[in-house]
Each structure stands twice: as C-alpha cells, then as structure tokens.
Amino acid sequence: MNNSIILEFEKTLVGLAGYPFGEATFKKFGKGKVDENQEIRVVIPDRIERVASSFVQGFFSEWIDKYGVDWVRKNVDISTSREDVRQYMYQNLE
C-alpha cells in the first residue's frame, strides 16, 4: 500500500506517550504526505509494545479536528504485529 505513513523511532523506545510527542510525530511523518481521499495505513514498528492514549490523540488530532473520530476509524488502518496495541489505539482515539 503506497498511501502509508511509516513511523520510525529511536531503537530504545518501546512505549509511546505524550500528546505533544504524538503531534510532533504526525508532523514529521504524516502531515501532507498521504492522500486523504484514499485509505491510509499507519505502520507502527513491531517493537512498540505500548501506545498511550495521549500519544494517539496527539498523533491523530489534526484528522480528528478536521474529519472526526469515525473518519479515522474507517479510513486509517493501523498496522502492527501486536493486535493488543492496534486495539488499544483505536479504543483511545477520544
């Protein structure tokens, strides 16, 4: 899938937290880099074990403000080998 945002972090990071960090990560890897009229894939590195709600809300804040939470749920595919991380992120969009 070409319409993807592939996140990269320092090798030591296994837990992502903080609203400002989420916002900064989106600006660095996602803002203006994908077609919002197509399905978007956000790829989380497999070594990430935990993602706090603060990071999720910061990362998706621009799209949530612009299109709403349901749009994110329907149009963004969070891709990670860890199903618990994926579920947790969708649950904590708001």
Q: List residues binding other proteins (CB under 8 A).
A: 12-18, 49-55, 84, 88, 91-92, 94
Query: From the CB of 52, what's the least distance to other proteins, in Å?
Result: 4
Residue 46, Ramachandran bin (φ over 0: left; ψ between -120 and 50: alpha; else beta): alpha
Nearer of residues 31 and 47 to other proteins, judged by Cβ: 47
Query: From the CB of 36, what's the least distance to other proteins, in Å?
Result: 26
Query: From the CB of 34, what's the least distance to other proteins, in Å?
Result: 26
Report the 10 Å Cβ neighbour count for 8: 11
5 contacts 33 by C-beta, under 8 angstroms = yes
Q: Enumerate the H helices of 37-82 as residue ranges.
A: 53-59, 61-67, 69-75
Nearer of residues 1 and 14 to other proteins, judged by Cβ: 14
